[in-house]
Structure 1
Amino acid sequence: MANIVVMGAQWGDEGKGKIVDLLTTDVAAIVRFQGGNNAGHTLVVNGKQTILHLIPSGILHQGKKCMIGNGVVLDPFVFCQEMDKLAASGIDVSPERLLISKKTQLIMPYHCAIDSARENFKSGSDKIGTTGRGIGPCYEDKVARIGIRAADLADETLLRHKIEKALVEKNALLTGLYGQEPMSAQKIFDDLLPVARRLALYLGDVSSAIQEAAGQGVLFEGAQGTHLDIDHGTYPFVTSSNTVAGNASAGSGCSPRMFDRIVAIVKAYTTRVGAGPFPTELADGPGAYMQEKGAEFGATTGRKRRCGWLDMVVLRESQRLNGPTEIALTKLDVLGGLDELKLCTAYRYRGEEVAYPPQEENGMAHVEPVYESMPGWTEDITGCRTYGELPQATRDYIARIEEILAIPVSIVSVGPDRDQTILR
C-alpha cells in the first residue's frame, strides 16, 4: 500500500476533499498535517454534501483511522461541533477512529478576538482577508513558545494557569491597542472545561500511529494551497503555515522517506479567495461564468471566489516546490460551454518574459500574463466515466497541461460526486 501526500497546487479550494475521500479507499489511515478551521473541504457522496473543516475527509469511510497532526491548529469547540454533526449523520467519531496529537496547538477564544480586531484595525490594501478564525495568532503563540497544546487538556490545573498567563499579554493588546473589552480567564476556562474533558479521550501519539499504519497505507492531507504557504506563497497574502508537501513530514511526525506518491490537486481554472495578486483574474465574462457554474463560494466563509484562466506559471512553481508524482485535475466540467480557453504560460515582468513567479514581495501584482488559446467544448462531460468518452478538445486541454508540466494527470474529476471521476 502506498503512502500518499495530497496538496493543493494553487490558492486552495482545488477540491482536495473529494480527492482525499477517493484515495482513502486504498489506505488505512488519514492524517491532517497543517492549517486549521479556516479551510473547508466539501465532499459529495450519492448527492449528499458534507463540509469538513478539521476532521480529515476520509472520515466518511468507515473503519479508517483519522488523525490530527502536530502541525494543525485546532479549535476544540469547532472540533466538537464537527464531531456532533457527523455523529448525527451516523458517522462513527469515537476515539477508536479519531486521534489528536498531544503536540497539536489549540486555538483559544483570545486568538479569534485578536485576529478579528487586528484585521478591523487595518484599512484598505493593508487588509489580508483573514477568516478571523484565530489561525495566525495561534501559530504566533506556537512560535513564541507560549501556546496551549492538546496535551494540556488533560491537566486542568496547567490549562487554567496557561490561560491566565496568556491573557496578561492578550488583554493588554486587546484593550491598549484595539480598544476592546478585556477577556476573562475564568470564563474561558469554564467554557473550555467540558470540551477539554471530552477531547482528553482522543489524545495520543500520532507519530506511533502513523508508524504502525505505514505498511497498510497512510494518506497525508493538507489544507489551503501552495501559493498560500507562509514562506513560498504570495506573501503577505498567505496563510500562517507551510502548505507545501514537505511539511507533511514535520506536521504529522514522520520521515519524508515514507512518501510514495505526491498528488497535486489542480483546478481546471484558477480561483482565489480574499486579497492578494491574481494575474489571470477575470472580472466578468468567462470569470463570471466559472463563478456561477462552479458554485465558487468559500466553504468556510461563503465569500465569492475570484475566478480566472488556468495559470501554468503558478503550477510550474508548485511543481518545483512540491515534486508531485501526478496531478488530480478537478472541476473540468465547469469549463464546458466556453468557446475558447486560455492558458497563462508565462509572465512579462520588468521587460522580460519569465517562466516562474517573481520572488520579490507582492511581485505577482506587477506581472502581465502571456496567454495561449485553445478551443473549448460545448458537451456536458459530467456523465463521462472513461477518458475516451471525453470530447477531443477536453483531452487536448488535459494533454497540454501534462506537456507543460511534464507530470501525468492520473485523476480527472468531472463533477462533485464521488463517482463523477475518471481514473487513468
Structure 2
Amino acid sequence: MDILIGLQWGDEGKGKFIDLIGSDYDIIARFNGGANAGHSIYYQGNKVTLKLLPSGIFSSHVKNIIGTGVVVDPLTFKAEIEELAHIMPTQDLFNRILISQKAHLVLPTHRYWDIYMEQSPLYRTIGTTKNGIAPSYSNKILRQNLRVGDIHSDSFNTDVYQILHRQYNELQLLGQEMPAFEELYHDFIQGCTSLKQVPIIDTEIFLNKAIRDGKKVLAEGAQATLLDIDHGSYPYVTSSNTIASAACVSLGVSPKLVDKIYGVTKAYCTRVGNGIFPTEITGQAANDLREKGAEFGSNTKRPRRVGWLDLPALKYAIMLNGVTQLVLTKADILNEMADIPVCTHYEIDEQEISLAFPQSAEQEIKPIWKYLKGWNTDFSNIKHANLLPETLGAFISFLEEELQVPINYLSTGPQREELINLAK
C-alpha cells in the first residue's frame, strides 16, 4: 500500500496528483476527514471538487473506498453523486464505491452544533468549514453516534429520531436557529437512500485480501500534516489524524504493508482559518500571490492566507510521515519573480531552529530567509525535465538537499497532464 498526504495546511494539489497516478492503482482509499475536504480534479474539461468521494472515482477499473476513519454526511454524499451524474452514469459511480460499515455518520444537528460553536462567544473560534465534522468525531469518541452500517438496522429511523430530537432540543435551548425538526429529520432519512445503493462492507477485510492478492492500493489523505489533531497547530487543526500512520489505523492495514509515501507541497504556503503561520505575508504582495495562484478554498471559497515556503515546518512534516518522495506544485505561480524567498530557519528566543513547528502563538518567531534566483519561462512548453529553466532546476536541487528527499514530480499547471516525472 502506498500513501499520499499533504505536507502543509492543505490545498497542496493532492487531488490532481492522485488523478494522474490513480489509474496505476486498483484501489484508492480515503482514510480521514469528511466533507470539509475539497480535492479538485479536471475531468473531460470540467473542474470537479470531490468532498467525500476518493479521487479515483473517474477511473473505471478503480474501486474507491471510504474508510473507517472518515465521517460520512449522507446529504453531502447524495449531492455529490447527483452532481457527478451530469458527467457520468450514476450506476458507474455506485459500482466504483465501497464504504466501511464502521465509518461514522454526520447528522444534520452536527452541522448546527458546528455553527453554534463557531459563532458563540462562549467557545473558541477555530475557523471551521461548519460541516459538522468535529461534532461527529466528538460523538464518536463519546460513543453516542451512529455508523454507516446502522442504516440497514430495523431501528435506524427510530435511533436517528431520538438522537436528532435530543440534540435539536439542546440547540434550541441555546438559541441556535434551525429549520423545523420534521424537515431536518425527513431530509436526512431521504439522504441515506444514496448510501443504501453502494456496498457497505468490512473494508479492512477487503483491503487486506486485495493486498495479499497483489492489488495496488493508494491511501488518500484529506487536509494535511500541519492540521493533524495531535501534531498540528492545535487548536487550529482539523478533527482527525492526517499523517501517514493514520492511514493504517483508519483502513485497518498493518504498517508492514506500506511501501511509498508521497508528500505533496506547494512552492509557497497557504492556510485557511486561524492559527500560527510563521512565513505569512500581507498587503499587495499577498493579494497578488493569492490572485495568481487562485488561492480560494475549493470547498468554502474562502480566501486563503498566503506566505513563502517554510522549510522548518516542511522538514517536520516529512519526519512525521516518513515521506519517500515529494511532489512539488505551483512553482509556475512564482514565475516572473526575480527572487524566491524561502525560510530556512526560525529564530526563537535567540536560537536558530531548522526543524520544528512552533506550537505557541506567544512565541516571537522570526523567519530567516534565503533568496533564490527566480525564473521567467513559458510553463506550457515544459514537457520534460531537461526543458526546465536552470534557475528552477537549482531551486529544486536546493530543496532536495535541504529536505533529504527526492522531488520526483513537478506540477507545471492546473491540468492533470501538466505534471512532469523528474525521476525518469
TM range (shorter): over 0.9
Shift of 1:199: 1.3
Distance (Å, rounded) in 2 between the aligned partners of 1:145 and 1:166: 15
1:205 equivalent to 2:166? Answer no
- What is the correspondence of 1:354-373 to structure 2 with a 5 Å cutoff? 354-357=353-356, 360-362=359-361, 366-373=364-371
Distance (Å, rounded) in 2 between the aligned partners of 1:181 and 1:413: 45
Equivalent residue number for residue 401 of structure 1: 399
Backbone CA RMSD of aligned residues: 1.9
Closer, same or farther in 2 for the Cα pair 1:390/1:122, shift >3 Å? farther
Distance (Å, rounded) in 2 between the aligned partners of 1:298 and 1:378: 28
Equivalent residue number for residue 156 of structure 2: 158
Q: Between Structure 1 and Structure 2, how many residues are aligned?
A: 418
After the TM superposition, which of the residue ranges 245-254 and 39-48 deviates more from structure 2?
A: 39-48
Equivalent residue number for residue 266 of structure 2: 267
Equivalent residue number for residue 187 of structure 2: 191
- What is the correspondence of 1:370-389 to structure 2 with a 5 Å cutoff? 370-389=368-387
Distance (Å, rounded) in 2 between the aligned partners of 1:250 and 1:167: 33
Shift of 1:285: 4.3
Distance (Å, rounded) in 1 between the aligned partners of 2:263 and 2:234: 21
Equivalent residue number for residue 353 of structure 1: 352
Shift of 1:286: 3.7
Q: CA contact under 8 A between 1:53 and 1:300: conserved in structure 2?
A: yes
Q: CA contact under 8 A between 1:86 and 1:93: conserved in structure 2?
A: no
Distance (Å, rounded) in 2 between the aligned partners of 1:340 and 1:272: 22
Distance (Å, rounded) in 2 between the aligned partners of 1:186 and 1:394: 59
Aligned amino acid, residue 119 of structure 1: E
Instruction: Specify every segment of 5 or more residues in structure 1 that has no aligned partner in the other structure, as ranges.
Output: none
Closer, same or farther in 2 for the Cα pair 1:209/1:95, shift >3 Å? farther
Shift of 1:88: 1.6
Shift of 1:320: 1.0
Closer, same or farther in 2 for the Cα pair 1:264/1:148, shift >3 Å? same
Distance (Å, rounded) in 2 between the aligned partners of 1:122 and 1:390: 52
Shift of 1:382: 3.1
Closer, same or farther in 2 for the Cα pair 1:243/1:163, shift >3 Å? farther
Distance (Å, rounded) in 2 between the aligned partners of 1:304 and 1:81: 24
Give me the TM-score of the superposition, normalised by structure 1. 0.94
Q: CA contact under 8 A between 2:77 and 2:195: conserved in structure 1?
A: no
Shift of 1:23: 1.6
Structure 1 residues 135-154: Cα deviation after superposition (integer angstroms, max 9, x where no partner): 11111001111111001111
Distance (Å, rounded) in 1 between the aligned partners of 2:222 and 2:259: 20
Closer, same or farther in 2 for the Cα pair 1:231/1:167, shift >3 Å? farther
Structure 1 residues 282-317: Cα deviation after superposition (integer angstroms, max 9, x where no partner): 113443222111111101110111111110011011
Distance (Å, rounded) in 1 between the aligned partners of 2:322 and 2:92: 34
Distance (Å, rounded) in 2 between the aligned partners of 1:374 and 1:297: 27
Distance (Å, rounded) in 1 between the aligned partners of 2:22 and 2:43: 14
The alignment-based identity, stated in percent, is 38
1:55 equivalent to 2:48? Answer no
Closer, same or farther in 2 for the Cα pair 1:61/1:373, shift >3 Å? same
Equivalent residue number for residue 221 of structure 1: 220
Structure 1 residues 313-350: Cα deviation after superposition (integer angstroms, max 9, x where no partner): 11011011000000011111111011110110111112
Distance (Å, rounded) in 1 between the aligned partners of 2:118 and 2:277: 21
Equivalent residue number for residue 10 of structure 1: 8
Shift of 1:162: 4.3
- What is the correspondence of 1:63-142 to structure 2 with a 5 Å cutoff? 63-91=61-89, 93-122=92-121, 126-142=124-140
Q: CA contact under 8 A between 2:8 and 2:225: conserved in structure 1?
A: yes
Q: CA contact under 8 A between 1:282 and 1:288: conserved in structure 2?
A: no
1:280 equivalent to 2:279? Answer yes
Q: CA contact under 8 A between 1:313 and 1:355: conserved in structure 2?
A: yes
Distance (Å, rounded) in 2 between the aligned partners of 1:322 and 1:86: 33
Equivalent residue number for residue 328 of structure 1: 327
After the TM superposition, which of the residue ranges 229-238 and 202-211 deviates more from structure 2?
A: 202-211
Distance (Å, rounded) in 1 between the aligned partners of 2:92 and 2:146: 24
Equivalent residue number for residue 304 of structure 2: 305
Instruction: Specify every segment of 5 or more residues in structure 2 that has no aligned partner in the other structure, as ranges.
Output: none
Shift of 1:126: 3.8
Task: Give the secondary-structure state (helix, strand or coil) at the position aligned to 2:171.
Answer: helix
Task: Give the secondary-structure state (helix, strand or coil) at the position aligned to 2:61.
Answer: coil
Distance (Å, rounded) in 1 between the aligned partners of 2:314 and 2:137: 27
After the TM superposition, which of the residue ranges 319-328 and 374-383 deviates more from structure 2?
A: 374-383
Distance (Å, rounded) in 2 between the aligned partners of 1:401 and 1:209: 39
Task: Give the secondary-structure state (helix, strand or coil) at the position aligned to 1:342.
Answer: strand
